[in-house]
Copies of this chain bind each other. A is one copy, B any other.
Amino acid sequence: MGLETRFLAQYALLPEDLRFQVADSGGWGHKKPMKSLTEQLWFETPHRRDYLNITDTVESLVRKSGVQEGLCLVNAMHITASVYINDAEDGLLHDYDVWLEKLAPHAPTSQYQHNRTGEDNADAHMKRQVMGREVVVAVTKGKLDLGPWEQIFYGEFDGRRKKRVLVKIIGE
């Protein structure tokens, strides 16, 4: 049986997302082609500022990707929001909120030139820089390789409208 024939026989038996891999391995078995997955998460938070734990959602996307060893990028697609990693503890979320308001106060809104454009969210652009735009998390043995208390959060600083987070997973 020729190489191409064997290839087609295998192809028919596999679930769709594995077909590519077998196609790639051509019968040699040591192949590790790159995989990737791209998904968007949508949010519309009830308050101007909110902090949402999205760890389980990202973990489920890692499973879906089939990536065993790689990197997982999670980033806010909007410039008044953050994705960051820290503790899922209500007291701390309150403390962050107070602290960020001290570092970059919302009011008076007239203190910011950006707000002359008709916006009132200049402070949100600053709070997001302190907390960061993105996290990059290792994927090891098919899972997010997080420390014991690491949780992935979506930090919203100008909510009450639809906004997105991008999850991109690459690896083998």
Contact = CB atoms under 8 A, between A and B. Distances in A.
Contacts of A54: none
A133 B129 CA distance: 11
Nearest to A134: B136
Contacts of A73: 71, 136, 138
Given A95-B112, A113-B95, A126-B99, A31 B21 contact: yes
Contacts of A76: 147
A107 interface: no
A104 B69 CA distance: 36
Interface in A57-112: 66, 68-71, 73, 75-79, 84-87, 89-92, 94-96, 99, 103-104, 112
Interface string A1-34: 0111011001000100110111111111111111
Number of identical protomers: 3
A103 to B, nearest CB: 7
A159 interface: no
| Majority secondary structure of chain A interface residues (helix, strand, loop or mixed) | mixed
A172 interface: yes
Nearest to A112: B95
A96 B129 CA distance: 10
A115 to B, nearest CB: 8
Contacts of A134: 135-136
Contacts of A18: 29
A129 B24 contact: no
Nearest to A85: B133
Given A79-B87, A130-B130, 18 more contacts: A10-B28, A21-B31, A24-B27, A25-B26, A33-B34, A34-B172, A38-B140, A71-B71, A71-B73, A71-B168, A73-B136, A77-B150, A78-B150, A86-B129, A90-B113, A91-B112, A94-B113, A140-B168
